[in-house]
Amino acid sequence: MRIGILTKVFTAELVDAAIAKHDRAERRRRLLSARLVVYFVLALCLFARESYEEVLRVLTSGIPGSRTLARVNRSSLCRARVRLGENVLETVFRQVAGPLATPATPGAWWRGLRLLALDGTQFDLPDSTSNGDTFDGPSTTGGVPFGSPRSGRWCWPRSSDHLGTAREELPDGSYLSMARPGKEVRLRAAKEGRKLPRHVIYRVITFAKDDKVAHLGTTLLNPEQYPADELVALYRERWEIEPAFDEIKNHLGPGGPIRSRTPEGVRQELWAYCAVHQAIRQVAHTAALARPTVDADRVSHLKCVRIIRRSILSQLGSTATKLTHSFTEAGREARARLRPARRNSDCPRAIKKPNRWPVLRTRARRGTVQPGRWAHNPTSKPKSTRRAGRPALSA
């Protein structure tokens, strides 16, 4: 069983170990084995606009038993996903996840610190009852948690009314400030069993942004070791995390709602998307290593996706030697035509998809009817009582 050149990342040993960890191996001989289903779920992310049956044909073409697998229907594949569960894909993701850049990677480190960005994003889901009850709209309590770091060295924007209490002015014009956690933060921490410090000391940097004054807070307190102008320049590059979300949702994903209509399937699919995106980034990073002065973000993500899709269609990598050769050839093709260097984003934040309706629509099959478009705009057009396909009888 292969998934093109991504078999170099998602090896059979890695997948089998994740299956064994959660005791999802089949008890009897099945046509849809657990390993095949793992590769199938990963392939669903690569071919997000294709049907279940078509993805299975693409994945299994050219291997023994492919004619029998071609007769497997959608319901059997759905039941196979349910048997596999979400934890196997989470384990697969955590096995391949992790930082790829080394200290020699251009643009990945600054003054001995690895550069990272944190942000949140939302996915559109099918409007089913179970999805609506579990993930009820854009809120912080209905999302799928993928981990929440609690410590580190940070740099974040601060509004003028949340600058804390000034304590000491520094030579570069910045100053040290003190803030205490609020009541809600303390109550949430106590509920989770966490102990918070009584106060936090951080550094405030003031700079000009679009003819306005902006403030930056950071836990990097030494102005000589971490100059303020360099921190501001790094902060202006924070927008580069947005293309990563776009890569997952639009270049890799369907550009709309994902497939799964149950919460377990949603989590399984999201873990698979994260795992596949990590593998694609590994291909891009490997391609950039051949040119040490080239930033990895200049390797086109969409081009890597197309290369990987073709490798599955042609069933490359039937042996370990051929797989290594195919992986090398993919890297050479990916860096053949690099994207131009990224520039800082000067565009203000804006809603790209404004709501077309002035009121919320009614969620499908909910117990209570919410105010929706038809509730406020009932139709006055009379409905015909005629049965479809039969002419009306005259008196």
Confidence of residue 351 (pLDDT cuts 50, 70, 90): low
Q: What angle do CA 322, 328, 330 make, to 5 degrees?
A: 100
Q: How far is residue 236's CA from residue 213's CA, in Å, rounded to a whole number?
A: 14
Q: 259 or 371: whose pLDDT is higher?
A: 259
354 confidence band (pLDDT: 50, 70, 90): low
| Structure confidence at residue 280 (pLDDT) | 93
Residues contacting 110, CB < 8 A, separation 6+: 230, 234
Task: Provide the percentage of residues in the chain whose pLDDT is more than 70.
Answer: 80
Q: What is the mean pLDDT of the chain?
A: 80
Q: CA–CA separation, 202 vs 176, rounded Å?
A: 6
Q: What's the rounded mean pLDDT across residues 30-56?
A: 91
Instruction: Give the single-character DSSP code of 239.
Output: G
Segment 67-75 shows an average pLDDT of 83
- Structure confidence by residue, pLDDT tens digits, 155-177: 778 887 778 888 889 998 899 99
> What is the rounded distance in angstroms from the CA atom of residue 288 to the CA atom of residue 282?
10
pTM above 0.85, yes or no: no
Range 287-306 average pLDDT: 84
Regarding beta strands 109-110 and 175-179, do their DSSP bridges make them parallel or antiparallel, or are they unpaired?
unpaired
pLDDT at 255 over 80: yes
Residue ranges of E strands in the chain: 109-110, 113-114, 155-158, 165-169, 175-179, 200-209, 212-218
Give pLDDT, residue 342.
67
The lowest-confidence range among 2-16, 37-51, 331-345, 351-365 is: 351-365
pLDDT(43) > 70 = yes
CA distance 285 to 304: 11
Band (126; pLDDT cuts 50, 70, 90): confident
Greater model confidence, 378 or 288: 288
pLDDT of 357 > 50? The answer is no
With a CB cutoff of 8 Å and minimum separation 6, the contacts of 343 are none
Query: pLDDT value at position 287?
Result: 87
